[in-house]
C-alpha cells in the first residue's frame, strides 16, 4: 500500500505494501515512520536545496546575491607607442577595463605603420596594388582624407616618407637636404589615395612610393571606440588618458564634471584646467617630441606644403570636442595652420572649442569654454574668441 505524508508544500510518497501486514509490530513501525517524516519536514530537511526552507526567504536571498556592486577600477598598459591609463566605474569595471585594453591593442594591430601584419603596413608596401581592408581601417582612412580636404592639407595622412626622412619614426634625427625633401614631397598628394567599395568589401590603394600614417587621428579613434565599449558594458563613468589624449565618459560618480589639466608647453605645472563631461580634451605642441640641430629646434608636427617641421609661433593647441577622433585631427591640423588660420577655421565651423598658446605666452580661447576653464598661469595677454 502507499501512504502520503504532507511536507510543507510537497508530499512524500511511501510504499509500505511490503511492511504493513496488520500486526501490532507493523503498526508501530508505520507510526514511527510517520513521526520521523513529520520531524524531518518540520526541521526543513529537503533534498532539493537547503536554501528553500521558506519560499520568501529563498527569493530574498536570490535577490540579494543578484545585485552586483558598482565600484571603480583602474588599469594602465602600453599601446600605440604610448602609455594608457584608464579608470572606470560601474558593475565589474575590472573586466570592462580588460576589454578596453584588448580593443586598443587590436586596433593597433590594424593601424600600425611598423607592425608588418597591419593593414597600413600592407598598403604602404603594396606599390599601388589594392588592399582589402576591414571597416575600422576604411573608417579612419576615409575620415583622414575628409579632414585633409577640410583643412586644405593641414592634416595630411600620407606625409610618412617625409617624417621618416627627418628621423622621427626611427629616432635617428637629421636635417635632410632640400633635394631629398622635394623628392619625398612628390608622393604626398592625398588626392591620389583610392577607396573602392565592392560587394565584397573596401579596397584601398596608394600611389607608388606613397606611404600612409594615421598617427594624427589613431589615438582619438581608439579613445572613441573604447568609451563606446565601456558604455555598452554598463559603465556609468570613465576617464581615459591615451598618451595625452584625455576622454571622459559621463561625469564623475558624484555628478560633478571631470577636471582635466592642460599641459604647460614651457614646462612646470599645468597652465590650468577645464571641467568636462562626455568630452575629449586633446593637445598638440612642439614640446612633445623634438630635436635640436645647429641651435634650432625641429618638432614632430609637419607642414604638408613644405615638408618641414612647423615653426609658426604656436606653442600649443588644445581642442575640446565630443569626438576624440575629431579633436585629435584638429589639434594637429590647427597647429599647422597657426593662430590666424586656426581662428578662421573655428569661426567657420564652431562645432568644437579650443585654446591656443603662442610662443609669446599669449592665450586665445573660444567663448564656449569660458565658464568651465580655470587659468592659473600668468599669460601676458588673454583673448576670448567670440
pLDDT value, residue 67: 58
Contact (CB, 8 A) for 233 and 96 = yes
Supply 333's cell numbers: 591640423
Domain boundary among 20, 38, 62: 62
Contact (CB, 8 A) for 317 and 331 = yes
> Is 306 part of any domain?
yes
Tens digits of per-residue pLDDT, 43-56?
Answer: 433 333 333 333 34
Indicate the SS3 state at residue 171: coil
> Is 93 part of any domain?
no
Domain boundary among 46, 62, 78: 62
Alpha-carbon span 203 to 343, nearest angstrom: 37
Alpha-carbon span 220 to 245, nearest angstrom: 7
> Is 381 part of any domain?
yes
Q: Number of folded domains in the chain?
A: 2
Domain boundary among 62, 79, 99: 62
Contact (CB, 8 A) for 177 and 123 = no
> Is 77 part of any domain?
no
> Is 13 part of any domain?
yes
Alpha-carbon span 331 to 346, nearest angstrom: 12
Domain that holds residue 279: 257-386
3-state SS of 189-240? CHHHCEEEEECCEEEEECCCCCCCCCHHHHHHHHHHHHHHHHHHCCCCEEEE
Alpha-carbon span 373 to 257, nearest angstrom: 12
Alpha-carbon span 273 to 259, nearest angstrom: 6
Tens digits of per-residue pLDDT, 9-49?
Answer: 333 433 434 444 444 334 443 434 443 344 333 443 333 33
CATH number of the domain enclosing 379: 3.10.520.10
Tens digits of per-residue pLDDT, 285-295?
Answer: 999 899 999 99
pLDDT above 80: residue 101: yes
> Is 284 part of any domain?
yes
Q: Give the residues across from 87 on adjacent strands.
A: 74, 239
pLDDT value, residue 199: 85
Alpha-carbon span 382 to 362, nearest angstrom: 6
Report field, pTM of the whole predicted structure over 0.85: no
Q: Cα 174 from chain centroid?
A: 34
Alpha-carbon span 311 to 295, nearest angstrom: 14
Instruction: Tell me the DSSP string of 271-339.
Output: SEEEEESS-EEEEEETTSSEEEETTEEEES-B-TTTSSB--SSEEEEEEEES-HHHHHHHHHHHHHHHH
> Is 87 part of any domain?
no
Contact (CB, 8 A) for 338 and 364 = no
Tens digits of per-residue pLDDT, 154-205?
Answer: 999 999 999 999 999 999 999 999 999 999 999 999 999 999 998 888 999 9
> Is 201 part of any domain?
no
% of the chain beyond a pLDDT of 90:
81
Return mean pLDDT, the chain: 87
Amino acid at each position: 500500500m502507499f501512504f502520503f505524508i504532507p511536507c510543507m508544500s510537497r508530499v512524500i510518497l511511501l510504499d509500505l505494501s511490503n511492511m504493513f501486514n496488520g500486526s501490532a509490530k507493523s503498526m508501530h513501525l508505520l507510526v514511527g515512520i510517520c513521526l520521523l517524516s513529520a520531524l524531518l519536514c518540520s526541521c526543513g530537511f529537503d533534498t532539493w536545496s537547503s536554501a528553500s526552507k521558506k519560499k520568501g526567504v529563498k527569493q530574498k536571498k536570490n535577490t540579494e546575491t543578484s545585485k552586483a556592486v558598482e565600484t571603480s577600477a583602474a588599469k594602465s598598459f602600453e599601446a600605440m607607442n604610448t602609455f594608457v591609463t584608464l579608470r572606470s566605474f560601474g558593475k565589474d569595471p575590472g573586466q570592462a577595463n580588460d576589454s578596453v585594453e584588448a580593443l586598443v591593442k587590436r586596433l593597433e594591430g590594424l593601424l600600425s605603420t611598423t607592425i608588418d601584419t597591419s593593414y597600413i603596413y600592407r598598403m604602404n608596401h603594396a606599390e599601388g596594388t589594392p588592399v582589402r581592408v576591414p571597416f575600422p581601417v576604411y573608417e579612419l582612412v576615409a575620415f583622414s582624407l575628409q579632414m585633409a580636404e577640410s583643412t586644405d592639407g593641414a592634416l595630411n595622412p600620407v606625409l610618412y616618407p617625409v617624417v621618416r626622412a627627418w628621423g622621427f619614426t626611427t629616432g635617428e634625427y637629421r636635417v635632410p637636404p632640400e633635394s631629398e625633401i622635394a623628392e619625398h614631397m612628390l608622393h604626398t598628394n592625398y588626392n591620389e589615395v583610392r577607396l573602392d567599395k565592392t560587394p565584397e568589401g573596401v579596397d584601398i590603394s596608394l600611389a607608388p612610393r606613397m606611404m600612409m600614417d594615421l598617427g594624427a587621428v589613431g589615438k582619438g579613434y581608439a579613445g572613441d571606440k573604447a568609451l563606446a565599449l565601456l558604455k555598452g558594458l554598463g559603465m556609468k563613468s570613465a576617464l581615459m588618458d591615451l598618451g595625452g589624449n584625455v576622454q571622459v565618459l559621463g561625469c564623475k560618480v558624484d555628478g560633478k564634471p571631470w577636471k582635466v589639466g592642460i599641459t604647460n608647453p614651457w614646462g612646470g605645472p599645468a597652465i590650468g584646467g577645464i571641467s568636462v563631461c562626455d568630452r575629449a580634451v586633446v593637445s598638440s605642441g612642439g614640446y612633445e617630441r623634438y630635436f635640436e640641430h645647429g641651435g634650432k629646434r625641429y618638432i614632430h608636427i609637419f607642414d604638408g606644403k613644405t615638408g618641414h617641421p612647423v615653426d609658426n609661433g604656436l606653442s600649443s593647441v588644445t581642442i575640446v570636442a565630443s569626438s576624440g577622433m575629431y579633436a585629435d585631427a584638429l589639434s594637429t591640423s590647427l597647429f599647422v595652420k597657426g593662430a590666424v588660420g586656426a581662428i578662421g577655421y573655428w569661426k567657420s565651423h564652431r562645432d568644437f572649442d579650443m585654446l591656443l598658446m603662442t610662443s609669446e605666452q599669449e592665450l586665445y580661447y573660444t567663448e564656449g569654454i569660458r565658464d568651465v576653464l580655470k587659468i592659473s598661469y600668468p599669460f601676458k595677454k588673454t583673448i576670448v574668441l567670440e
